[in-house]
C-alpha cells in the first residue's frame, strides 16, 4: 500500500521534529536542533532494515519516492513565497551582510574539503590501519 | 434580477482549492522553466535553476503587488503556494530525499560535518557583524543580531529577541538572512564547479557552511538533485546551533570586542 510508505515517512518526520524540539529545550534554547536531520537518519535506518529483510514492498517505496520526486516543485513554491521585496528594500546593511555571508561560505567549501581530504586519500591498507580516526 | 458575478465565483473556487491550484501553478512554472532552459540556454542552465529563479521573480511581483511578506502567496487565490512551499511539506520532501542514502556514507563524513557547521556559523556572525560595524552600528546587541541574521533568517530574530534588540534591528537581521538564502539559491549552480561541489562530501560541507535550509535546498536542487540529502543533513543542524551560540557565546565575543 502506497500509504504505508508515506505514513512511514511522515512518522519519521514527526518523531525527528519532536526529538529536535526536546533537544533544543534540553540545551535551553527556543529552537529545533536538527529535527529534520534526525528524521533523515531514522528514515535511512528503518528503510534499510526493512529492505534487508525484504519487507519493503514496491508500492510502499512509491509512497516515499513520490515525495522525494516532488522535492524540486516544493522548493519552487518555497522560493515563490519568500519575502523578496522586503529583503531587498531594507537597505544596504541587509543586502551586504547576506551577500558577504554567502560569499564567505562558498569560499570555504574547497578549503574545508581540502583540509579533510588528506586522510581519505590514503592508500586502502594505511586507511584501514588508522581505523575510524580518518 | 442582478447579473451573476462570474469573476467572484471563479475566484471563490480557486481560493477554496488553494493547495490544488498551487500544484497546477508550480507544474506550469516547471514546464515553462524546462522550455526556457532548453530553448534559451541550450540546457546549460538546469531547468530546476530556471524554475527557482522564476519562483523568486514571482515572489518579487507578489510582494510588490500586495505589499505583503509572503511573496506570491499573499495573492488570495495563490495562498496555496505558501502551504506547498511552507516548512511542513518542505521538510517532508527533504526527509524523503534521504531514502536510498547509505548510512556508511554519512558516518565517514561525520567529523567534516561538525567542522563545517562550526566554521559556517562562526564566519556568518563574523562577516555579518563586520558589515554592521562598517555601516555604523556600534553596540554589541545590534552587531550580534545582524551577525545572527547573516547566519539564517531564523537565527536572526531568535537571537535578537533573546538579547532584547529593537524591532528595526531584528527586521534588518531577517532581511539579511533572506538575502543570503536567495544568493545561495541563485549562485550555487554557477559556482558549483569552481568550489568542487560535485560529490556527497562536498555537499555535506557546503550544507554546514551555508546553513540556510531554504538556500541549500534550492541551491542543490538547481545544481544536482542527488546531492540534496547530504547538504540538507548538515544544514538542518545549523539553525539550531546558531540559536544556541548566538545569544550566548557570540554575544559575549561581540561585547568583549566593542566593550
Do residues A70 and A102 share a domain? no
C-alpha cell at A60: 510502499
Q: How far is CA A33 from CA A29, A75, B105, B242, in A?
A: 9, 22, 22, 9
pLDDT digits (tens, 9 = 90+) for A87-112: 787 788 999 999 999 999 999 999 98
Residue B194: count of CB within 10 angstroms of its CB: 10
Q: How many residues does the structure list for chain A? A: 134
ipTM score above 0.90: no
Do residues A128 and A90 share a domain? yes
Q: What was the pLDDT predicted at B56?
A: 86
Look at B99 and A91 and tell me if their CB atoms are within 8 Å: no
B226/B101 Cα distance (integer angstroms)? 10
Sign of the Cα pseudo-torsion (A38, A19, B93, A98, in order)? negative
Cβ-based contacts under 8 A for chains A and B = 334
Distance from CA of A39 to the nearest CA of B (A): 6
A99's enclosing H/E stretch is: helix A92-120
Task: Tell which of B79, B98, B219 to mutate to test the A interface (max A CBs under 10 Å).
Answer: B98
Do residues A103 and A55 share a domain? no
Look at B244 and A37 and tell me if their CB atoms are within 8 Å: no
Look at A97 and B179 and tell me if their CB atoms are within 8 Å: yes
Phi, psi (rounded to 5 degrees) for B87: -60, -35
CB-CB contact of B86 with A79 (8 Å): no
Do residues A30 and A90 share a domain? no
**Non-local CB neighbours of B64 within 8 Å, separated by 6+ positions:** A85
Do residues A67 and A91 share a domain? no
Q: What is the DSSP string of B63-128?
A: HHHH--SSGGGGSGGGTHHHHHTSHHHHHHHHHHTTTT--HHHHHHTHHHHHHHHHHHHHHHHHHH
B220/A88 Cα distance (integer angstroms)? 23
B145/B9 Cα distance (integer angstroms)? 47
Q: Measured between beta carbons, which residues in chain B are less than 8 angstroms from residue A134?
A: 108
Distance from CA of A20 to the nearest CA of B (A): 9
A35, A45, A73 ranked by CB distance to B103: nearest:
A45
Do residues A115 and A96 share a domain? yes
Q: What was the pLDDT predicted at B1?
A: 60
- End residue of a domain, out of A45, A61, A82: A82
Q: Measured between beta carbons, which residues in chain A are less than 8 angstroms from residue B102?
A: 44, 48
Do residues A75 and A90 share a domain? no
Dihedral (Cα; B243, B217, B182, B37), 10-degree rounding: 180
Q: What was the pLDDT predicted at A15?
A: 97
Do residues A65 and A131 share a domain? no
In angstroms, how far is CA A49 from the centroid of its own chain? 20
Q: How far is CA B232 from CA A83, A116, B34, B96, B245, in A?
A: 22, 20, 24, 11, 21
| Parent domain of A99 | 84-134
pLDDT by residue, tens only, chain B of 259 residues: 677 889 999 999 999 999 999 999 999 999 999 999 889 887 777 788 888 889 989 999 999 999 988 999 999 999 999 999 888 998 899 899 888 777 777 776 678 888 999 999 999 999 999 999 999 899 999 999 999 999 998 888 888 888 888 888 888 898 999 999 999 999 999 999 999 999 888 999 999 999 998 899 899 988 998 899 999 888 888 888 888 888 888 998 999 998 7
Q: What is the DSSP string of A5-65?
A: HHHHHHHHHHHHHHHHHHHHHHTT-SS--SHHHHHHHHHHHHHHHHHHTT---HHHHHHHH
C-alpha cell at A4: 504505508
In angstroms, how far is CA B232 from the centroid of its own chain? 11
CB-CB contact of B186 with B216 (8 Å): no
> Nearest residue on chain B to A32, judged by CA atoms?
B240
Look at A83 and B84 and tell me if their CB atoms are within 8 Å: no
Q: What was the pLDDT predicted at A84?
A: 83
Look at A101 and B123 and tell me if their CB atoms are within 8 Å: yes
Mean pLDDT along residues A68-81? 87
Contact status of B233 with chain A (Cβ, < 8 Å) = yes
What's the number of domains chain A is made of?
Answer: 2
CB-CB contact of B58 with B71 (8 Å): yes
Whether pLDDT at A117 is above 70: no
Do residues A15 and A55 share a domain? yes
Do residues A114 and A133 share a domain? yes
CB-CB contact of A67 with B190 (8 Å): no
Do residues A65 and A88 share a domain? no
Residue with cell 534550492: B218
Q: Measured between beta carbons, which residues in chain B are less than 8 angstroms from residue A72?
A: 30, 48, 51, 221, 225
A78's enclosing H/E stretch is: helix A71-80
Look at B69 and A45 and tell me if their CB atoms are within 8 Å: no
Give the helix ranges, DSSP H, for B135-194.
140-151, 155-163, 167-191
Sign of the Cα pseudo-torsion (B194, B198, B202, B208, in order)? positive
Do residues A21 and A74 share a domain? yes
- End residue of a domain, out of A63, A82, A101: A82
Confidence band of A133 (pLDDT split at 50, 70, 90): very low
Amino acid at each position: 500500500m502506497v500509504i504505508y510508505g508515506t505514513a512511514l515517512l511522515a512518522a519519521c518526520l514527526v518523531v525527528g521534529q519532536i526529538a529536535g524540539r526536546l533537544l533544543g529545550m534540553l540545551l535551553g534554547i527556543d529552537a529545533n536542533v536538527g529535527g529534520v536531520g534526525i528524521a533523515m537518519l531514522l528514515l535511512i535506518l528503518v528503510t534499510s532494515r526493512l529492505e534487508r529483510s525484504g519487507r519493503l514492498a514496491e508500492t510502499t517505496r512509491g509512497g516515499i519516492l513520490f515525495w522525494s520526486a516532488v522535492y524540486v516543485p516544493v522548493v519552487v513554491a518555497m522560493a515563490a513565497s519568500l519575502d523578496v521585496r522586503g529583503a531587498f528594500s531594507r537597505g544596504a546593511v541587509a543586502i551586504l551582510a547576506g551577500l558577504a555571508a554567502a560569499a564567505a561560505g562558498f569560499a570555504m567549501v574547497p578549503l574545508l574539503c581540502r583540509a579533510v581530504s588528506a586522510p581519505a586519500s590514503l592508500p586502502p591498507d594505511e586507511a584501514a590501519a588508522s581505523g575510524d580516526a580518518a | 434580477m442582478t447579473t451573476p458575478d462570474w469573476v467572484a465565483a471563479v475566484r471563490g473556487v480557486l481560493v477554496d482549492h488553494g493547495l490544488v491550484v498551487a500544484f497546477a501553478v508550480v507544474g506550469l512554472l516547471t514546464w515553462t522553466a524546462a522550455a526556457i532552459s532548453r530553448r534559451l540556454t541550450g540546457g546549460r542552465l538546469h531547468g530546476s535553476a530556471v524554475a527557482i529563479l522564476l519562483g523568486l521573480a514571482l515572489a518579487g511581483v507578489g510582494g510588490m503587488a500586495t505589499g505583503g511578506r509572503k511573496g506570491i502567496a499573499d495573492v488570495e487565490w495563490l495562498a496555496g503556494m505558501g502551504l506547498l512551499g511552507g516548512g511542513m511539506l518542505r521538510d517532508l520532501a527533504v526527509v524523503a530525499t534521504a531514502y536510498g542514502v547509505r548510512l556508511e556514507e554519512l558516518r565517514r563524513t561525520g567529523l567534516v560535518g561538525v567542522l563545517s557547521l562550526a566554521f559556517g556559523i562562526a564566519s556568518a556572525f563574523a562577516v555579518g557583524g563586520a558589515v554592521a560595524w562598517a555601516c555604523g552600528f556600534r553596540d554589541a546587541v545590534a552587531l550580534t543580531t545582524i551577525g545572527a541574521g547573516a547566519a539564517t533568517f531564523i537565527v536572526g530574530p531568535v537571537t535578537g529577541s533573546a538579547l532584547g534588540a529593537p524591532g528595526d534591528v531584528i527586521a534588518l537581521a531577517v532581511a539579511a538572512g533572506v538575502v543570503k538564502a536567495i544568493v545561495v539559491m541563485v549562485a550555487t549552480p554557477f559556482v558549483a564547479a569552481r568550489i568542487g561541489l560535485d560529490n556527497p562530501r562536498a555537499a555535506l560541507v557546503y550544507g554546514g557552511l551555508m546553513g540556510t535550509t531554504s538556500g541549500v535546498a534550492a541551491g542543490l536542487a538547481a545544481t544536482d538533485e542527488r546531492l540534496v540529502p547530504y547538504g540538507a543533513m548538515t544544514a538542518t543542524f545549523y539553525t539550531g546551533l546558531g540559536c544556541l551560540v548566538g545569544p550566548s557565546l557570540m554575544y559575549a565575543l561581540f561585547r568583549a570586542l566593542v566593550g
